[in-house]
Structure 1
Amino acid sequence: MANTKDQRSPWSWIPTLYFAEGLPYVIVMTLSVIMYKRLGISNTDIALYTSWLYLPWVIKPLWSPIVDLLKTKRFWIVIMQLVVGVGLAGVAFTIPVHSFFQYTLAFFWLLAFSSATHDIAADGFYMLGLSQGDQSFFVGIRSTFYRFAMLTGQGLLVILAGALETATGLEPLEVNVTSQNIPLQEISFKPESYQQLHESGDIYFVSESDVKVPIGLMPKEQAADIKKSVDEWNIKNNYYAGEKVVAAKDEGWWTRKVSAPLKETLKEKFNKETVDLSSEVGNLAIIPIQLSTKPEPGEQVVLNFGYEKGDASIKLVKTYRYEFDETNWDKPAFALVQLDPKLKKATQTTFVGRSGNIKFSWSVVMACIAVLFVAFSLYHRFALPHPTTDVANKTEGKSVLAEFFETFAAFFRKKEIVSIMLFLLLYRLAESQLVKMASPFLLDAREAGGLGITTGDLGLVYGTAGMIALTIGGILGGIVASRKGLKYWLWWMALAINLPNLCYLLLSLFNPTSLWWISAAVVVEQFGYGFGFTAYMLFSIYVSEGKHKTAHYAITTGFMALGMMIPGMLSGWLQEIIGYQSFFVWVMICTIPIFLVLPFVKVDSKFGIKEKE
């Protein structure tokens, strides 16, 4: 146990602390996108404005010294959780107002900066509140609860918002789409052929409850024409607005003189795979959606139509948000579903349209999370221990500005700084590229060098078996590191995060058709990643030891992001040039640099070992 004024079990605060760390991140980065889509913001605006919300996490090392110099980490955690609650409450209360997009974005910015600051303080407190052995043991536990926060934000909160929409609106519209091995039929879009409804009584939505789609392919040009016609009809009748089109920029000097010639050379030398030039895509089905009777003058009935459950190999061409009023209620709006071109079996997917009070529903969700964070703040006010080392690190006689720059300088004056930097930048070099191309490889057609599995199978492989393996690997890594220390396991964990990348090279060479073999490869790679990533987190903690450990740990995470970002940005470009097989050979080559660095990495043999009580 760390040197604390009170002895409290880490189990009483680590799960809640890291759940509270992950939840604001997923709310800002993922849930906000879903919410704005539900509220009718265009894809262009959503992509532009929410992408900037990631900035606080990118630049958080720049103000990490402030957290280290002013007040305690415990103070920052409690206060930032309260500020996160205020930001969420601000989002909740401004959703119903007229200019909600501008106001909610402002509160999301507050949420993003306070969450990034909370991350700095929480990670620093983790190092102060635990002994080195406990830090090793709980490193997998904290990652697991962080992932639980991701699942909560992407799943449970969306489900809650959907349930509230259902409870506050018209009867949900449910459409079951089934793929069947039946003869293909000619598809054409003829909106005038659909019967118009003029019913009396309660207002409700009507559609085909069961849609059967023949399994097969259709010409790509025909599918594009149908999609265009459906969009034009829906836009013409004001069911939704057209998306803005951004004009492509002219090629610059770099493209003409450097990247284009390099691309052609690499493609000629290495890409031996057949390019997918298929002229066919998965079969389409047209779903009409109508309102039963005329709304009241000035009333607008909004319907959000999207995926609910079932096989993800049957998907909507887009998530639809329709607006019905007294001017367009008497004509049908249309949705398009499309089969995965690799789908060969009969399966079913359910799509649901909800027409409740969307602003009220999302306000309630955000208000509930705001209350939760106030509760987190109050709980951690009493549950967090009081480490004796958790003090402001300002030196007497020095200004805050001088200490600020001294904090950065102190990091780069560390012994073995060259090997430290190389480790931080190269440990995940191979994985940073693999993670970007793994899913496209599994999904791409075999003619393009991929394995051609369906979207539904991909979700099954990664969402169940892969997630379980990742979690077990992370927890096991923490347990074993706490027994023999980081130094003992460093090489083994480096092998664990790098060697399983060979699974993807083998998949690209042997092209198995069995989902069991594919799942086995993913499980091995995900387990290895979970186990091997433990060493990276512990090494970051180790090199951050000292007076400014909170700020220095934030700096290591900044280098981690840099080491992931740049190779990841180039991975897709490289894969398209040289093909999957050569790309996975390149990934294996990228595993070599870290093993050349490891002999120069110095770690105390006792670091990470949990002392016996």
Structure 2
Amino acid sequence: MHSAPATRHPLLWVPSGYFTMALTYNMLTAAAVIMFSNLGMDNGEAAAYASALGLAYTIKPFFAAFLEMYKTKKFFVLLSQILLGVGFIGVSLVMNLPNYIPLMLAFFWVLSFIGSSQDITTDGVYVTSLDAKSQALFCGWQSLSWNLGKLAMMSVMVMLSGFLHEHYFGNDPHASGPEWINSWQLVFLMMGIIMLVMALWHWRVMPDGARAENTPRTPGEAISTLVDAFVTFFQKQGIWLMIGFALLFRISFGFLNAPSMLFMKDSLENGGLSLTNQEFGLIYGTFGLIALLVGSLIGGAYVAKKGLQKALFPLCCCVNIPNITFLLMAFYQPDSHVLISLGVVIEQFFFGIGSVGFMIYLMQQLAPGKYATTHYAFGTALMGLCMMLTGMVSGHLQVAMGYVGYFVFVMLATIPSFLICWFAPFPHKHD
């Protein structure tokens, strides 16, 4: 795969690259929850399987260096997108088989590692092809495009699956079971085509990406560098409290994430809100995401004004206290879409404000040092580990407790977050 001669202005490949990353990630770890539920899995299985697919994204710091040593970064971006395209089309085809679930899960498992490799190498092209000024200039496009990809997956694709299921195939939108196979097959077929088109587009416009100065030249060097980064990570001042922070700051959201989506889809008899895929995509995938983005902007401005050390505990309150909206909705089971939308928007808006504190803490307190990028990746990996482990058990706990009892448990799960936030160390002082 050699670069075609073409204009490589960052706006030609940065938005499309991060949009494609977001489509893959949100299909495998978020929209999959809805799909599994549609196909008839119980809440425990749906949450566990989707959360387990986050493993590849959690451990990607440990194999990222090996992708740096061979070919170009662009080569691996194109290869991963071609494999993702073929893989999603393959998922669509295997859903025709009688016992397709195990094979589909195997496809997803492989695709999650390919998707995480796409993330690593797309980031690599961005970092090594743009100078510091350009990286800052296009960072907003990067973030906006990723969130547009999430919107396209959680809103457009989920709503499309529901529309096809109800209006094209003529099925009951509230019933789960094998009747959903046809509509999700078309969604996966579209996903596959999009990935292949993106690979062709990026072949035309994406730069190769340069080798970073500290890129290892052999597998031995890569392992040696990783070991040194790992050892120095644990030599940081206050490291165990910082590890606790990375693990626990968003623990209540880890427990809330998958069950909150399943709650909105579940039947009234089971204690849910009985939303169709179209209604879920509009309320959670559109209104909720917009509220999250607005909250993130406000959270960043708040930290810039107050400073992280003063802002951290209020941000922790923003992450945790609004979870009560789902407890209230589980208790009253409102049938008004306005009230349901309001509950989702409040929770997502304040989560957006508060989650900014987590990322900035990792950047300013955990990451600084010889291996800043790697140590920051370790911090996000710990957060991903928390999300994966809590997500894998969340559905089973919800089934055992019921929605009201489970959302009470989610509120109790905020306590570790408050405690670790109160004792979080600040070894590096910033203005």
TM-score by length of 2: 0.69
Other-structure match for 2:165 = 306
Give the match's secondary structure for 2:236.
Answer: coil
Give the match's secondary structure for 2:259.
Answer: helix
Cα 1:527/1:547, change in 2 over 3 Å: same
In the TM superposition, what is the alpha-carbon distance from 1:427 to its structure 2 partner?
Answer: 0.6
Residue 146 of structure 1 pairs with residue 143 of structure 2? no
Cα 1:67/1:454, change in 2 over 3 Å: closer
Counterpart selection for 1:552 from 375, 392, 395: 375
* Contact persistence 2:15–2:142 (CA under 8 A): yes
* Contact persistence 1:429–1:563 (CA under 8 A): yes
* Contact persistence 1:136–1:479 (CA under 8 A): no
Other-structure match for 2:196 = 370
Deviation by residue 1:404-436 (Cα, 9 ceiling, x = unmatched): 322222222222211111111111111111223
Other-structure match for 2:4 = none
In the TM superposition, what is the alpha-carbon distance from 1:586 to its structure 2 partner?
Answer: 2.9
* Contact persistence 1:89–1:366 (CA under 8 A): yes
In the TM superposition, what is the alpha-carbon distance from 1:497 to its structure 2 partner?
Answer: 0.9
Counterpart selection for 1:565 from 360, 374, 388: 388
Question: Please, which runs of 5 or more residues in structure 1 have no aligned partner?
Answer: 1-7, 36-42, 163-175, 177-304, 323-351, 608-613
Cα 1:159/1:571, change in 2 over 3 Å: closer
Other-structure match for 1:518 = 340
Residue 493 of structure 1 pairs with residue 315 of structure 2? yes
Other-structure match for 1:381 = 207
Other-structure match for 1:403 = 225
What is the count of residue pairs matched by the alignment?
A: 404
Cα 1:602/1:66, change in 2 over 3 Å: farther
Residue 527 of structure 1 pairs with residue 349 of structure 2? yes
Residue 82 of structure 1 pairs with residue 81 of structure 2? no
In the TM superposition, what is the alpha-carbon distance from 1:143 to its structure 2 partner?
Answer: 4.7
Other-structure match for 1:18 = 18
* Contact persistence 1:138–1:478 (CA under 8 A): no
* Contact persistence 1:307–1:316 (CA under 8 A): no
Other-structure match for 2:117 = 117
One-letter identity of the residue aligned with 2:426: K
Other-structure match for 1:463 = 285
Residue 427 of structure 1 pairs with residue 286 of structure 2? no
Cα 1:91/1:585, change in 2 over 3 Å: closer
Counterpart selection for 2:409 from 576, 586, 590: 586
In the TM superposition, what is the alpha-carbon distance from 1:594 to its structure 2 partner?
Answer: 2.3
CA distance in structure 2 between the partners assigned to 1:504 and 1:18 by the alignment: 31
Q: Any residues of structure 2 matched to 1:259-338 within 5 Å, and which? A: 306-308=165-167, 314-315=173-174, 318-320=177-179
Deviation by residue 1:367-414 (Cα, 9 ceiling, x = unmatched): 5532422422543318x7x8xx94225499x84432232222222222
In the TM superposition, what is the alpha-carbon distance from 1:136 to its structure 2 partner?
Answer: 12
Deviation by residue 1:470-489 (Cα, 9 ceiling, x = unmatched): 22223433455456654453
Query: If each structure's helix is expressed as a fraction of its own residues, which one has the higher value?
Result: 2
Other-structure match for 1:66 = 66
Deviation by residue 1:204-224 (Cα, 9 ceiling, x = unmatched): xxxxxxxxxxxxxxxxxxxxx
* Contact persistence 1:83–1:111 (CA under 8 A): no
CA distance in structure 2 between the partners assigned to 1:321 and 1:441 by the alignment: 19
CA distance in structure 1 between the partners assigned to 2:204 and 2:308 by the alignment: 35
Other-structure match for 2:425 = 601
CA distance in structure 2 between the partners assigned to 1:33 and 1:519 by the alignment: 20
Larger C-alpha radius of gyration, 1 or 2? 1
One-letter identity of the residue aligned with 1:63: F
Deviation by residue 1:561-597 (Cα, 9 ceiling, x = unmatched): 2212223333344444444444333322322222222
* Contact persistence 1:71–1:392 (CA under 8 A): no
One-letter identity of the residue aligned with 1:117: S
Higher relative contact order (CA 8 A, sep 6+): 2
User: What is the root-mean-square deviation of aligned Cα atoms in Å?
Assistant: 5.3
Q: Higher mean Cα deviation, 78-87 or 571-580?
A: 571-580
One-letter identity of the residue aligned with 1:492: P
What percentage of aligned pairs have identical amino acids?
Answer: 29
In the TM superposition, what is the alpha-carbon distance from 1:79 to its structure 2 partner?
Answer: 2.6
* Contact persistence 2:65–2:222 (CA under 8 A): no
Cα 1:368/1:500, change in 2 over 3 Å: closer
One-letter identity of the residue aligned with 1:472: V
One-letter identity of the residue aligned with 1:428: R
Q: Any residues of structure 2 matched to 1:440-479 within 5 Å, and which? A: 440-442=262-264, 450=271, 452=273, 454-455=275-276, 458-479=280-301
Cα 1:122/1:391, change in 2 over 3 Å: farther
CA distance in structure 2 between the partners assigned to 1:381 and 1:526 by the alignment: 36
One-letter identity of the residue aligned with 1:119: D
Question: Please, which runs of 5 or more residues in structure 2 have no aligned partner?
Answer: 1-7, 36-40
* Contact persistence 1:502–1:588 (CA under 8 A): yes
In the TM superposition, what is the alpha-carbon distance from 1:97 to its structure 2 partner?
Answer: 11
CA distance in structure 2 between the partners assigned to 1:519 and 1:420 by the alignment: 35
